[in-house]
Amino acid sequence: MSNKKTQELTLKKVQAIITSLDDRKAQEVVSIDLRNNEDAPVDFIIVCHGDSTTQVDAFASNLSKDFQEIFGEKPFRIEGKSNALWVIVDYIDIVVHIFHKELRDFYSIEDLWSDSQQKLHNTI
């Protein structure tokens, strides 16, 4: 697969993730484009939050289901579902951080990549 096709597929995956999170009413969905950052471990980081552990768990579960239906891929790894305060869904080139609101505020993960292009996708 050419580099252009790989990038197009990555962008389609990012959009599908954002759509899944938006459809479930995840709050303040932000995508961070790290493709121009040579030190970045992934191409994109997506961050969002919910107000309860039930929401956080549901966002992660539904994202995994939606992504598999569209792309036929399961996440490489999911971490944090046992307490659902901060769930990480790892798709190798895209990592999704789904926080409980208080933890998102505390860790401010977007600030770690403040020099990269960030886009807010909703303001629920």
Structure confidence by residue, pLDDT tens digits, 31-68 = 999 998 888 899 999 999 999 999 999 999 999 999 99
User: CATH code at 46?
Assistant: 3.30.460.10
pTM: 0.92
**For residues 65, 67, 68 and 70, what is the CA-based torsion angle, rounded to 10 degrees?**
120
Domain boundaries, position 97: 3-120
The answer to whether the CB of 70 falls within 8 A of the CB of 16 is yes
More confident call, 114 vs 100: 100
The answer to whether the CB of 58 falls within 8 A of the CB of 98 is no
Residue 21: the pLDDT is: 97
State the total domains in the chain. Answer: 1
Q: What mean pLDDT value characterizes the chain?
A: 91
47 class by beta-carbon count within 10 Å (0-12 exposed, 13-18 middle, 19+ buried):
buried
pLDDT at residue 25 tops 60:
yes
Residue closest to 88 by CA, chosen among 117, 118, 52, 63: 63
Residue 71 sits at the vertex; the CA angle it makes with 66 and 75, to the nearest 5 degrees, is: 70
